[in-house]
Structure 1
Amino acid sequence: MKAHFTASQTHRLAAISCLLVIGLTGFVTPANAAKSLTKSQIVEAQKAETERAKKSDKSYQRQAKALGQYYTKLAQKLSKSGINVQPLLAASAYFNNESKK
């Protein structure tokens, strides 16, 4: 004999199942997981995630090139007023380099 559940019953059953699994295994939040990692492990994970995102995002190179151009133009404008533009030029060089990868 096949059991027939209403949508409401199915949702309640799914919620109870999730709570049961969480209760038995313990709830791991990103904050709790991060506490068990060292700073260098977190940095490595962030680098790996950035590289993965670069490969999967088709517009990354175009966006990096646009940011590099924007920072270059901004540095040119700000240099006329005597502001130190080295950080902007460094950011521009970084994004221009990223756009070529």
Structure 2
Amino acid sequence: EKQGVLVRARLEVMRERFPIIGDVRGLGAMLAIELVRNRATREPAPELASRLAKHASERGLILLTAGIYGNVIRILAPLTASPELMDEGMTILEQSIADLG
């Protein structure tokens, strides 16, 4: 539960910073971000999800794409992950989103 609260807080900050994040959702430590071309229309952006997964992978963070449009990034870290490791993963995620432009 604690892990989920910390990750969701980071994702919500990213949502405010990056317009390509249309939604943050999930339960507990199982969370997801939905990538969109435009927040107003909520048009799915599967190409951004693919690019994000590739960028993050190059930095050592494995992300899964999901959703019927392929525009969702699922986040489910091991419950035994340390706070430091979680912070490192979230930082890689944030940097990778920033690189998408």
TM-score bracket, normalised by the shorter chain, equals under 0.3
Between Structure 1 and Structure 2, the one with more strand by share is: 2
Between Structure 1 and Structure 2, the one with more helix by share is: 1
Between structure 1 and structure 2, the one with the greater Rg is 1
The two structures have a TM-score, normalised by structure 1, of 0.27
The two structures have a TM-score, normalised by structure 2, of 0.27
